[in-house]
Amino acid sequence: MSLIVRWLALLVALAACAWVVARAPIATDIAAFLPGPATPEQRLLAEQLRDGIAARLVLIGVSVPDEAQSEKAARVAASLAVRLRSDPHFTFVVSGDPKDFEREQQLLFDARYLLSPQIEPAEFTTGGLRAALDRLERRLTSAIAPLVRPMAPRDPTGEMIAVVERLAQRPPPRTRHGVWFTADGRTAIVLAQTRNPGFNIDAQEQAQRALQAAFAASRDAVADAAEVSLQLAGPGVFAVESRARIERDARRLSILATILIAGLLLSVLRSPRFLLLAAVPVGTGALAGLAVIALAFGEIHGITLGFGLTLIGEAVDYAIYVHLQRAPPGDARGNGRLWRALLLAVLSSAAGFLAMILSGFRGLAQLGVFSLVGIVVSGAVARYHLPALLPPPRPHPLPFDWPPARRGIQRAVQAVIAAALVLAVVQIAARGSGVWIDSLSSISPLGSGAGALDARLRGDAALPEVRWLIALERPNQQEALEQTEALRPTLEKARESGALVAFDSPADVLPSERTQRARQAALPERAALQAALASAVASSNFAPNAFAPFVDDVEKARAGPLLTPAYYAGSGLGQRLTAQLVARPSGSTAVLVTVHGVDEEKAAQLRGAIKAHGATLIDLKDDVERLLADYRRTALWAALAGGALIVLLLVVQMRNARVVLRIGAALAAAVLVTAGTLVHIEGSLTLFHLVALLLVAGIGSNYAIFFCRLPADSAARRTTLASVALASATTFIAFVLLATSTTPVLHMIGTTVAIGTLAGLAASAACAAVEPPDA
């Protein structure tokens, strides 16, 4: 194939790749870099955390520097809540003002005879009513009299109090100046529900901008409120912040990598022409990788774009090798040697990404596929398109040769590597099982402060914890509600034993139809109730006609319709029901019972107790960390498979046991020294460090391949050394920049490979050998 045809084919392929990439959506959901759910309950929870009502919640903190200024925070928060209620981005806003809950209170009061757990036929007999009126008299002379008195004519039996007691198992949030406040008295709390789902990051970002504008207007409307600040937390807030960080890192790091690597190449090779040509394999590999990702995954993750800068550092290596090491056109033997080495370097680097693809993480698999395709395409373009167009190489001559004439110098390097290897093994062994960490916080996309703010606002607002849930699923809604009701005695017993502090069951606001009908059947007809009430009132201190509205309400409930989810539509209770009563695509209904204050030592006991009802206790923290550990073990096997593949490639290509052993020793030393250094710096290793260690082996193999078979000719050897030194410098720059990323996945991979690049270069130099002249 002629050179012109090759370049035309390349341009057509580039245009096709660019078209595919331009049409691909960009994803920023950090969940792609978390372990996927392994059980139906975990899948349900993952769906709700991503698409459910809980994902739309924005926790708003309106803060002042000290408690003495709390009134200013309260006034700004109250004003903000008013503004947000009229904003189309939000469907539900509460700040703790009693007026916020008037509708919910009215809904519960009107439905009290279908909700109250104390509805029994005996309650409406003369004796039952007489006991209720005695109880009412005591309440009217107690501290709760202001709350009881308005309801007394319609609810002498105290059904509303029974409903509220069942629903309010925990103390309500603290209130100051008419709004909710955190325990320290410095932050007023507002809760807002967005109209759009949490995974719609564009819509979430628009809602947050509207919120910030409303806050600015509210603060301006309050005198001397300049020091009042806004704090935001919640799934949508974190998603927007994660995307901003990823985009900021990708843009900043790509620009820096391009500038630094281009500057290095230009200063060493002094050839703008080479610089332009070297961009061809890099750009082609990146476009090809992104196109394959778009076709295979249906989207391109923002972290993949950030990871793309590593391709700049590694793909440009192939252009350097071709530029500096290619022999004159007539030297078929010299060029054949280079092409074989280049092929082996490409294949061994590609094998280094195998652990990413097989890790089980969708995000890591995308990084692996992108890198593998990019490396192979970059190497092919450097091999088949660049040689005829590259200018003559003009590198600065190296001031040294290697191996050095004095063998003592290389032995000193070997001693240093051996000492570093021993220290690394000791460091790893000293950590024992603690060498691995599988906590979610270690890979969180945000700083610890964000999680602390969310936990503080959530706890002080008496919101459900996000760690513990009880899930059960039944063929239809009624069976699900009936099973949830059957579960209640078990949960009550667990609360009494201290296994949990409180729980929120959807059956408390939407009993099953069977329970509602039983309560309706317990309500007496009008005439019977009037007779029993008259007899009970006659022996009390109440006026004869004081409870006429009570009789009307009982009759209305007895003959009225049953409660359905539609009854609560548009209310806070409706939002809660939607989050806890989930219609599945299969037609079944899943119930999520939120649980508060689970005693971790009694969690196993609770899990066993609810299992008899077909329910599962989900511990988001432990379940995900257990999955992380499982994925780490899977990735370890994948890494071993990748390492074995690299060794197999070396054996097949080299066909020299001594050379393969030297290369294998260099790679093992590089990986172990890198791991030990990471343990010393970070304290522990994560799954992402493990995956990156295989990249160290893949990249280090490139250096070892050239170092362990250095040409016998001194000039050719110095040229080879110059190309390896320059290639390792570009790779090191790219991964050092990646290590500065604020996205943990990229930071961990960048730190690992940056250290590994230096370790691999040093280990390869320690194992370097010159081939005999006739090799």
* Residue 402 to residue 714: CA distance in whole angstroms: 9
Least confident of 139-143, 323-327, 610-614: 323-327
pLDDT at 270 over 90: no
Residue 484: its pLDDT value, please?
94
**Smallest Cα–Cα separation from 470: which of 445, 490, 452, 455?**
490
Percent of the chain with pLDDT over 70: 90
Q: In the numeric block, which tokens belong to residue 147?
A: 């709350």
DSSP-assigned letters across all residues of 162-189: HHHHHH--SPPPPEETTEEE-TTSSEEE
* Residue 615 to residue 617: CA distance in whole angstroms: 7
What does the pLDDT average to over 521-543? 91
| Domain residue ranges in the chain | 3-23+238-435+656-766, 97-172+517-562
Residue with tokens 């009037």: 530
Residue 46: its pLDDT value, please?
64
Residue 135: its pLDDT value, please?
92
3-state secondary structure 444-496: CCCCHHHHHHHHHHHHHCCCCCCCEEEEEEECCHHHHHHHHHHHHHHHHHHHH
What does the pLDDT average to over 295-316? 77
Beta strands in 4-135 (DSSP E): 26-27, 57-63, 90-94
Least confident of 40-44, 639-643, 653-657, 687-691: 40-44
* Band of pLDDT at residue 288, cut at 50, 70 and 90: very high
pLDDT at 462 over 80: no
pLDDT at 358 over 60: yes
* Residue 418 to residue 422: CA distance in whole angstroms: 6
* Band of pLDDT at residue 518, cut at 50, 70 and 90: very high
pLDDT at 295 over 80: yes
Residue 642: its pLDDT value, please?
74
What does the pLDDT average to over 584-595? 86
Residue 51: its pLDDT value, please?
64
Q: Residues 490, 491, 495, CA angle at the centre, nearest 5°? A: 120
* Residue 773 to residue 770: CA distance in whole angstroms: 9
The phi-psi region of residue 301 (left if phi > 0; otherwise alpha if psi is between -120 and 50; otherwise beta) is beta
What does the pLDDT average to over 466-484? 89
Q: Residues 382, 658, 707, CA angle at the centre, nearest 5°? A: 40
Question: What mean pLDDT is reported for the chain?
Answer: 84
**Smallest Cα–Cα separation from 589: which of 499, 716, 474?**
474
* Residue 304 to residue 338: CA distance in whole angstroms: 31
pLDDT in tens, 388-427: 888 876 655 667 778 877 778 888 888 999 999 999 999 9
* Band of pLDDT at residue 291, cut at 50, 70 and 90: very high
* Band of pLDDT at residue 683, cut at 50, 70 and 90: confident
69, 81, 100, 576, 701 from 75: Cα distances, Å = 10, 10, 15, 27, 65
pLDDT at 539 over 60: yes
Least confident of 191-200, 327-336, 563-572, 658-667: 327-336
**Smallest Cα–Cα separation from 186: which of 95, 94, 72, 80?**
72
Residue 112: its pLDDT value, please?
95
* Band of pLDDT at residue 716, cut at 50, 70 and 90: confident
The model's pTM is: 0.74
What does the pLDDT average to over 365-373? 86
3-state secondary structure 326-364: CCCCCCHHHHHHHHHHHHHHHHHHHHCCHHHHCCCCHHH
Residue 546: its pLDDT value, please?
86
Query: Does a cis peptide bond (omega within 30 degrees of 0) precede residue 403?
Result: yes
* Band of pLDDT at residue 254, cut at 50, 70 and 90: confident
pLDDT at 119 over 60: yes
Residue 515: its pLDDT value, please?
96
What does the pLDDT average to over 308-313? 68
Least confident of 29-38, 252-261, 706-715: 29-38
Residue type, 210: A
Superfamily of domain 3-23+238-435+656-766: Multidrug efflux transporter AcrB transmembrane domain (1.20.1640.10)
* Residue 473 to residue 48: CA distance in whole angstroms: 14
Backbone angles phi, psi at 743, to 5 degrees: -90, 115
What does the pLDDT average to over 507-523? 95
Give the residue with greater pLDDT, 734 vs 515: 515
Residue 208: its pLDDT value, please?
93
**Smallest Cα–Cα separation from 454: which of 61, 9, 23?**
61
Cβ neighbours of residue 626 under 8 Å, at least 6 residues apart? 438
What does the pLDDT average to over 43-70? 78
Residue 162: its pLDDT value, please?
92
